[in-house]
Amino acid sequence: AWNNLGNALVHEGRLEDALEAFDQSIALKPDYAEAFFNKGNTFTKLGLRDAAIAALQESVRIKPNFTKAWNNLGNALVNNGCFDEALKAFDKAIAISPDYAEAYNNTGLIHVTLGRAFPLSAGAVTYTSYVPSSLFVTSFLEAEGLTFAVILILTSCVPRTQ
């Protein structure tokens, strides 16, 4: 109930109150990964980067197969400039859920941001069989300056028919 109240308070923009609700939820059930996840996301919205990372790390410690928590931990690490650690978190999200588009997108954005070649993995190629390539195009075209990433993904990840 406290976790749900916290989510409702976040929706209303009452972030400090939401944190109190998540803390109540955690006090009642210290191993409730979703409450730590929501707390971490709320810290992110408040710009409290270190607190967000700590809460999201606790979430994945409690529930190691929590794909969204690994992805959001990666985003929090990116916000803190910890790109290599973020890539590890995104890789974990992909390992758990190979069809989780957001983690692939976030991985690609890091590589583009750092000017690195986008490494292709068997998982990425397999992934494209689950999601139409137009999702990649939409995702990358919405962010300015990422035309190269679109071309890279379309020419390198999408299986070609001959």
pTM beyond 0.85, yes or no: no
Q: What is the secondary structure of the chain as a DSSP string?
A: -HHHHHHHHHHTT-HHHHHHHHHHHHHH-TT-HHHHHHHHHHHHHHT-HHHHHHHHHHHHHH-TT-HHHHHHHHHHHHHTT-HHHHHHHHHHHHHH-TT-HHHHHHHHHHHHHTT------HHHHHHHTTS-HHHHHHHHHTSTT-HHHHHHHHHHTSPPP-
Query: What's the average model confidence in pLDDT over 114-135?
Result: 46
The pLDDT of residue 95: 94
98-122 burial: b if 16+ Cβ within 10 Å, else e: bebebbbbbbbbbbbeeeeebeeee
Mean pLDDT over residues 54-77, rounded? 97
Assess whether pLDDT exceeds 90 at residue 5.
yes
Q: Band of the pLDDT at 37, cuts 50, 70, 90? A: very high
> pLDDT confidence of 118, banded at 50, 70, 90?
low
Distance CA 38, CA 45 (A): 11
Q: Output the pLDDT for position 113.
A: 81
- Per-chain mean pLDDT for the chain: 79
pLDDT at 10 over 70: yes
The whole-angstrom separation of Cα 57 and Cα 16 is 20
Residue 126's pLDDT is 33
Q: With contact defined as beta carbons under 8 Å apart, do 59 and 36 qualify?
A: yes
